[in-house]
Amino acid sequence: MRYISLFAIFLFLACNSTPDGKTELTSLEKTTTSPFTDTVKLDTFKVSWQGTTTKGSAISLKIISHKGEEIYKASIKVDEILKADEKLKTEADRLKYLKNEINYFFDDEHFLWPAVLPTEKADKHVPDKNFHEELKQTQLNGFNYRSGKESKVYIAWSVKENKVKVYYQL
């Protein structure tokens, strides 16, 4: 029995490593739920990456409503995210950083409850002042994610337009 276990471990490692012995990632994925289009019902947030190299690849963000409809899809260039840390010299370092980024995507700090507080004033980073006012009234939640080295996108559900919109962008 012990030999079968050792053989299974050896087979697993052989199938998940490159010829030089380094572990190779082919996909990363994380899913969570949170109220977004409604203050109570849960929508599904999914972030994923497919590939064997970071160069030229992208992270996909999807939001599926509690009704089962895809309401948002974004593609974030991995090259833009990796610019955040120029010390990443090797592909192994970049893959490790990417894995950490995927795991960090749904930390609590990215979910904003509500998206806009009633006392908040629109500034130069608010692309649609009317939507900003709508969010003050609906009190729906927001979500933010990094889209590059020093850029973030803040999104929320517009009840009036029945779609996800950007309400703040850095």
pLDDT for the residue numbered 25: 59
CB 104 within 8 A of CB 85: no
Q: Which amino acid is at 113?
A: W
Terminal CA-CA length for the chain: 58
For the chain, what percent of residues have pLDDT higher than 90?
A: 71
H helices within the chain, ranges in order? 2-15, 78-82, 91-104, 129-138
What does the domain layout of the chain look like in residue ranges?
Answer: 24-169
Write down the pLDDT at residue 140. 97
Q: Is 21 left (phi over 0), alpha (psi -120 to 50) or beta?
A: left
Note the pLDDT tens digit of each residue in 17-39: 344 434 455 679 999 999 999 99
pTM: 0.82
Q: Are 96 and 87 in contact (CB under 8 A)?
A: no
Range 73-91 average pLDDT: 88
